[in-house]
Structure 1
Amino acid sequence: MGMLKIGKNCSVCKEWQEHCYWSHMADDCKHFLTYMVGDFTESMIVPSRFANNFNGHISEVVNLKSPSGKTWSIGVAYSDTGELVLRSGWKEFVDANGVQENDCLLFRYSGVSSFDVLIFDPSGCEKASPHFVENRGFGREEKSAGAEGGGRDGDKNGHHQHQLEMTPHKNSSRCRSIPSACKRGLFSDEIEQDHREEKKEGDDEDEDEDEDEDVDKDGEDRYYFCRHGGRVTEYNLSKGDKEEISRVPVPVEPGNPVLVKVIHASHLLSSRYSTVGVSPEFAGRYLGPAMAREVVMERGGGGGGGDQWHVRFVRRESSRGFHGTGWRRFARDNGLLAHDVCLFELRLVDGAGAGDRLRRRPRPTMAVHVLRRVRGRFVLIR
């Protein structure tokens, strides 16, 4: 069907365009621009039209990612006139990135209450300095700052650490990164590509040879806590962490098994070889003996009617886990950070118990609930 020719002064057409832009275009195509004038160092007002159309999707804290790859968590508040204002942590973002009066900032919505930010000088040229904020050897790092809590001690292996901050997100069929109707065909091609790549080994694969797990059998829900050894001990959960996670009110269906997994920095890399390890007991009991299969992932709390990501599960000689383009898209679209805790809830057919392997869905479907440590405690990210 050809493009519809619309009149310049047709108000109905303009309303239709606005509706399509805000309701049907991918969220990562949405931007806003703001100039740094007046008293911009302490706070910044989000344009009201942008804020109103994202009502419910920008909440208590937002993540701002600078060109260097570093991420700041910024507190959000409302002014007396009802305007959405970035406050707590904004000054640190401004100072660290050398934002000056009359600079122009371009914000691109990247999902889960997060924005990628480009910074331009008054001449309209992008500033170079924000690309090199606190990076050693001009490398790139991702590290949350600008809000309290969640920091970790230095990595003994020299890897950059990530603080944990909250980026609340409320799923809605109105705001989608990829239209559901288009996803199946797109991911079919990507899964075939992943199949051709699965035999290649890389340094980004999850080291889970020494992995074991604890199973919480006290409650209605079965929590399988993954634990790693070797070079990834920084991602271990303490006994207290596990007890706290078990107490977080997560909307898990009674009887569904839940794999609890800490996200590593390597899980978020663009490398095609990165694999999110799955414990052997959980994989063997619920994902079957196949060497490779497709798993459907959804964000938890959506009731099964929201966006879906088709992720490849692979099984190798000494490891098994989620792998490839589908996982990378899921992590990116949902704004996952290192040290986030993902609860992979395997959805069983109605009436099946956690131990009933024969009654799981033909294609495994997982609702993924995300916890993030905020000011010393785990918080469910929506």
Structure 2
Amino acid sequence: MAPDQDYDQDNSHVDDTQKYFFKCMVGDFPEKMAIPQKFVDNFNGHISEVIKLEAPDGNIYNIQAIRDLNKIVLGSGWGVFVSFYKLKAGYFLVFRYIRDSHFKVLIFDFGTCCEKEVFHVLMNCGPDSQEKESNSESHRRCELCDVHFYWHHLDDRQKHFLRLMVGDFRQEMSIPQKFVNNFRGRISEVMKLEAPDGNIYNFKVTKDLNKIVLRYGWAAFASDYQLKEHDLLVFRYIGDSHFKVLIFDPSGCEKQLFNIVLNHAPNVPKTCISHDRSFLRETRRRDCGSHDNNSRKTKKMTPVDSPSPRSEGVTSPEVTMNSAGLREITEPHYVLATGCNLTTAQKAEVDALVKKVRPVIPFYITAMNKTSMSGSLVICKDYAAKYLPHEEQFITLCHPHKSNIWVDNLKVITDGSCMLSVGWSCFVLHNELRESDICLFEVSKNDGEVTMVVHSLEGGHHLQGKEPESQNKCSYPVKVEVTEEEESDKEHAESSYYYSRYAYDLTGEEQEEIFRSALIQQGNPVYVAVLQENHVSSRNNLLTFPREFAAKHLAERSHDILLLRPNRREKWCVRYYYHSMMRIQGFSYRSWTKFVSDNGLQEGHVCVFELMKGVCEATMMVHVFRKFNGRFVLLD
């Protein structure tokens, strides 16, 4: 059955009042907001022409719902809501349907991953108030009062935080620092996390430099619920170190996990997906009495418990007849990861390579996907347990036809599988691997040291073994533009300069002052941004690029961009994140934080990002200005 069919069937059984969706505030969000199409298509109830939007402070706004080509867009009244709660680009809003076209909304600041404190208005205005005038003196917001009330008077069981799955999210997850610093309750050494299907997981909490990190047990949770990059998790505290979590995919809708609970015959206990983990999940829906003994003895995954990308299978050993006519069990020549299906031509090439190499340890074969392309590759626990080290250690990656080597730290995950990360990212980049390529890992051991020679089959089903045709071939993706020679300089300049919302407030004189000092090379696209708090914060920062700039000048996928500063020798390799469904494209997380720190960037600084044309690597020259005595000064 197709995934969408699963979604429709699962979603039709869920009460509308248990349905949620989220939206990230990007683009023209101050004027309008579209409800996710997936939510609209699968919503059982009726959304009228006017919906009620209930803010966290209890205020209710009437907002016009406009239907446009099967889409539902919030129009008249939405701008008032945005203005009153001072919504900013990068904020996340989580909506829960109540009844009769009535939604409750939570507002999260992406910079802190905590809720925006908006509770003071409720205290001043009373619960019966329906419409609020944002310019009314009696309703004027006091942000300090909001913050104090939220953290010091609001019941902890009404508090939420969120986490966007990026980076090494499969191995660990940290609780937002702001939540930790202000939380009045106590988080014990073991934290309980209740998934949407009712299963409860125990996590061992570790404190790392005043941060609270979930490590032991988190990998099992991430694997069981198949968490992927850019999934969004929203956590609600319910007491005694116990949190409930909602899991959203990038479409803005919840992941459909209810089949884990619903698709079981009556009186049949639910099967536990986790195997051999020190922190096994509990469940409120299962009685651990004697009637469950049989299910424990035959712990198998049911068809509805679809395996995660880590639940990969090993090819069975081959059974042969020896010279005496007795059956002999031999090791398999290779192990296929689940989901890696070889064509007849590919299998022939693999067999030929096996015959040529005669590996002592079976090949591990997997297909490149978005996860392994973006920086991490997981090797299934069955293969890892038998052929790879059981403790973390550095290993060497090689290409069969190149002299280069890449060193990586082979990480051992809680569930027994292994993961390649940083060194693997460099290998993927330098060897120009692509999504759907087939990789064969030839593992060898010598005095405890592990080497992996990585053979690859590209889309045309040919073994990659040749050097790139040109040493000048670009390693980083940049869109190459063909411009008309007769195009005027004025037209080119107007089409190549882009501004953030706050940069539009720069006067003509200020812009002239900036560009006179920056000395932009003719023909290079430019993005001008006035830095805000969420751009330069030490954690969970996000600097977005205009969609038009990204669509015209950058590749439509996540990749690295080299940042340079004028008159400086240092270089910074910063990760550019691209997500089409969430309409986010920009710099974020550790690499951007390092650039901000190394260059002393502060709120109010003006950054001019000049995309260099005619170079192989995606490169930007960053000109930084600050205002001094009423004039913009170029910083070294």
| TM-score interval (norm. to shorter) | 0.3 to 0.5
Give 1 or 2: higher strand fraction. Answer: 2
Query: TM-score, structure 1 length as denominator?
Result: 0.37
